Amino acid sequence: MPISFDPSSKIFHLQAKNTSYVMQIVNEGYLAHLYWGKRVRHARVPNSLRFKDRGFSPNPNKEDRSFSLDTLPQEYPAYGNTDFRGPAVQIEQPNGSRITDFRYDSHEIISGKPKLSGLPATYVEGENEAETLKLRLKDEVLGLYITLMYTVFKELNVITRSTLIENNGLETQHILKAASINVDIRDTRFEMMNLPGAWVRERDVERLSLRRGVQSVGSRRGSSSHHQNPFIALVRPETTESLGEAFGFSLVYSGSFDASVEIDQTNQTRVTMGINSFDFSWKLEPSEVFQTPEVVMVYSSEGIGEMSRTYHTLYRNRLCRGEHRNKERPILINNWEATYFDFDENKIMSIADIAAEAGIELFVLDDGWFGERDNDKTSLGDWFINKEKLPNGLVGLAEKINEKGMKFGLWFEPEMISVDSDLYRNHPDWCIHVPNRRRSESRNQLVLDFSRPDVCEEVLKRVTAILDSAPIEYVKWDMNRNMTEIGSAALPANRQKEIAHRYLLGLYSVLEELTSRFPHILFESCSGGGGRFDPGMLYYMPQTWTSDNTDAISRLRIQHGTSLVYPVSSMGAHVSEVPNHQVGRITPLETRGHVAMDGNLGYELDVTKLSDEEKEEMKKQISLYKSIRMTVQYGDLYRLIDPFKCQNYGTIHVSEDKTKAVLFYVHVLAEANGPFQTIKLSGLDPDKDYRIIETNEVYGGDELMNMGVNIPYPNHDFKSVMYRLESL
């Protein structure tokens, strides 16, 4: 069984495909962490817990000076009860105390995986796919219960965790902190990886040695953000892409978060992750519950690449949902960088005509189609057609697009409101704001208060009316600012710190309703590009606009970092014009095409300005991508060259049966009299022979992986290569 409990030793043993996770009830009900790593057959724990009297580590039981929570590797530590490290939970009581003492009460092992109320999470499609442990802790004084939920996926190295807090007492409590997980590891020989960045420079890969004390990453912006991603990994110093241990932590949440790693006095590592406790509290009335988001924990004994591929498999198949989950993503063209706000129906159709001839499958109309939206200073919230630009309305334009053989898609930004809008003039209190304080704007807009059910209902009504009005088969859902002056006119003073989380719950409820009502629509998430590229959004929208930066060379690092956690099928990637609008760089159309093909291919440029030669090359790119699309989007990804360690870049996508593969290589800067380049491939079947279609050469999989393949000499900057491999 994936989950077992030994009553004699009081040990819980969780076994996924190739990993074990072991806990033990010790010393009058405290829950201790014993092991997480490569799978073992039995959990007799030869390296069992040891105790010693430590100075300045106080003792819950004065008769046993060797036992202190300050040195115990705990599963879910509370605040103030002899443990001075950062807690996972902190509760403020009516008398002002913040002290709690949670101990083992009961447990239950069930087949399958329960849903989380109001929150996105991974799921199963059959009870035999997973098993779940519900482990209940109790504070006797307060009547508070905490249920730690662990789900073991049988065929993946995945254990998911979340926490439910129940108030079964007689008094109202205030939650000050409620982490989703805590893991105390009796080891410090790790480096921490995370994904910092900024707008148009998302998801750099940072890897640093741990130090004593606390190191943390997080967001206080009300969203997961461009600046940090809700992911960290602990890796051994010797761990590489293909060798060594990696422990991944990915939070299924789209709001402010915190992930901290603390090294304590006895060289133990504490990992805590969940909703950011900064400016957060939650009023928990008697009989109420609070559910934390889920953390997906992945173990790999075969390097960072295997960790990534585990996340890719899980998130493609058991996080993304709906009819688009495993479908090939359409090749689209978006008019944003081609026209910005300056367009009319004739201009749109001139772009669509050429796009259709080239084989593009979807036309996406971006910002500017509604209200009086000729710039970014007006009309957000007024989701009504601008008849001056579109005299035949959306339905007329969509039908013309459909006649060209393309589907029609539409951009929205429903979470925002312009001060210059009828919606704001009618409902000035519907935005997030604090009385008597300035309402700071960003991109000339404010944030609608999705913590209010009436706001969610109105947004849902307006968006639904548009989606019902025309044959719309794709929606780009944008969000272009973070929260400031966080306050709500609809909540009392003692609930104002709940707003940021209630906003997410409101947003998730709107997205659940919309995606259920319109299952045929492919929803793509966007937040100034990749500002909310997180598992929470993937649950509702299986595709994300990876970055507003469309420069091919910038995208090498952005797409590499994103792939640490997120599957290729989720990454939108577009060919744009040169000089590039973000960095001014000029790169060959071939290279721009290859980099975009390494994700979900799209175009974002004025194709009416292309030469006949460029139009023909675009047509060839589209035809080529259609032949490799399934392998790229749903094959196994192997990162071959790290652009954070050198200028160049390489990946290979291998089909599940290892009969097809696609290699991408980009050489950034040419070098005078430079060396020849050879690249070793990965993921192939060593016993198969493969033909490289572009060269008509045949090599064994073992040759290609151990000896490598020659890359054409890079005789100019930004040279790229794409090879297709087929087994014989």
Domain assignment of residue 657, yes or no: yes
656: domain CATH number is 2.60.40.1180
Q: Residue 45: its pLDDT value, please?
A: 74
Of 628, 577, 627, 566, nearest to 598 by C-alpha is 628
Quick check: is 174 in a domain? Answer: yes
Angle at 411 between CA 407 and CA 413, to 5 degrees: 155
Contact call for residues 188 and 73 (beta carbons, < 8 A): no
Q: Which residues contact 687 (CB under 8 A, 6 or more apart)?
A: 700, 701, 702
Q: What's the number of domains the chain is made of? A: 2
Q: Dig out the tokens for 674 from the structure.
A: 């430079």
Residue 582 lies in a domain: no
CATH code assigned at 68? 2.70.98.60
pLDDT of residue 48: 84
Give a yes or no: residue 488 inside a domain. Answer: no
- Sites in the chain below the pLDDT cut of 70: none
Domain-embedded: residue 405: no
Q: What is the pLDDT of residue 43?
A: 86
Q: Decide which of 269, 300, 318 is a domain's last residue.
A: 318
- Determine, yes or no, domain membership for 608: no
pLDDT score, position 701: 98
Position of tokens 């924990």? Answer: 297
Does residue 87 have a cis peptide bond before it, meaning omega lies within 30 degrees of 0? no
Contact 77, 83 (CB under 8 A): yes
Q: What is the pLDDT of residue 1?
A: 81
Query: Torsion angle, CA of 309/310/312/317, rounded to 10 degrees?
Result: 140
Select from 318, 349, 369 the last residue of a domain.
318
| Helix, coil or strand: residue 723 | strand
Domain ends where: 293, 318, 343? 318
Question: What are the residues facing 651 on neighbouring strands?
Answer: 639, 664
How far, in Å, are 254, 278, 625 from residue 219 at the CA level?
10, 10, 37
Domain-located, residue 410? no
Dump pLDDT digits (tens) for 414-449. Answer: 999 999 999 999 999 999 999 999 999 999 999 999
Q: What amino acid positions are annotated as catalytic residues?
A: 478, 548
Work out whether the CA dihedral 297, 301, 303, 309 comes out positive or negative.
Answer: negative
Let me know if residue 350 belongs to a domain. no
By residue range, what is the domain housing residue 122? 3-318
